[in-house]
Amino acid sequence: MDLTTSVGENDHIQGGRSALVTLVEYGDFECPYCLKARSVIEAIKKIEGEKLRFVFRNFPLSQIHAHAIHAAYAAEAAARQGKFWEMHDLLFDNQYAFEDQSLIGYAQSLDLNIDQFVKDMNSQETAEKINEDFLSGVKSGVNGTPTFFINGVRFNGPTELKALREAIEAAMK
């Protein structure tokens, strides 16, 4: 199944709009497979540079990962202060510490306004953003994490550097 929701201004994007390839990940901050995929994505971003645009969308598997939704809220709250990617990295670096005190500690380390961070974590807008990401994944046939789309086409290969890079290189041609 193809990506049904195009990349837009509400997405979290790294890389330029003129990139040859857009790689979209539906991920869960508590998912151990997403954590493993992170190093693969980082390597590909370094190799491809400006030829690649990377997009992360929340797909918390809350029935499997009890704290995934809470982590997604923290990432979106940080995004409201311009620090999504920094929080994204902290959440994956500290995958098993998602209680409130830890999340607030991460926000403090990013010099976020803590009152605003807590307010945004509990806001309807944050809940709607996560739900929007999740539903866009469901509409695109996502049922696990990580799930990748390369230029709108689902990648069904293994989340390994060689396989993902070959698929990205093929999409560039």
The 10s digit of each residue's pLDDT in 82-106 is: 999 999 999 999 998 999 999 999 9
Q: Tell me, what's the pLDDT at 110?
A: 98
Mean local confidence (pLDDT), 116-133: 97
Domain-by-domain residue ranges, the chain?
12-172
Enumerate residues 6+ apart whose C-beta is below 8 A from 169. Answer: none
CA 157 to chain centre: 19
Tell me phi and psi for residue 37, to 5 degrees. Answer: -65, -30
- Contact yes or no for 146/26 (Cβ under 8 A): yes
Model confidence at 125: pLDDT above 90: yes
Average pLDDT over residues 135-159: 96
> What token pair was written down for 8?
């837009």
Give dist(CA 127, CA 124) in Å, integer. Answer: 5
- pTM more than 0.85: yes
Range of lowest pLDDT (54-58, 65-69, 77-81) = 65-69
Q: At 173, is the pLDDT very low, low, confident or very high (cuts 50, 70, 90)?
A: confident
56 strand-pairing partners:
12, 25
Tell me what percent of the residues of the chain surpass a pLDDT of 90.
95
* Residue 93, H or E segment: helix 84-93
CATH number of 12-172: 3.40.30.10
What pLDDT shows up at residue 1?
75
**Cβ contact 25:37 at 8 Å:** yes
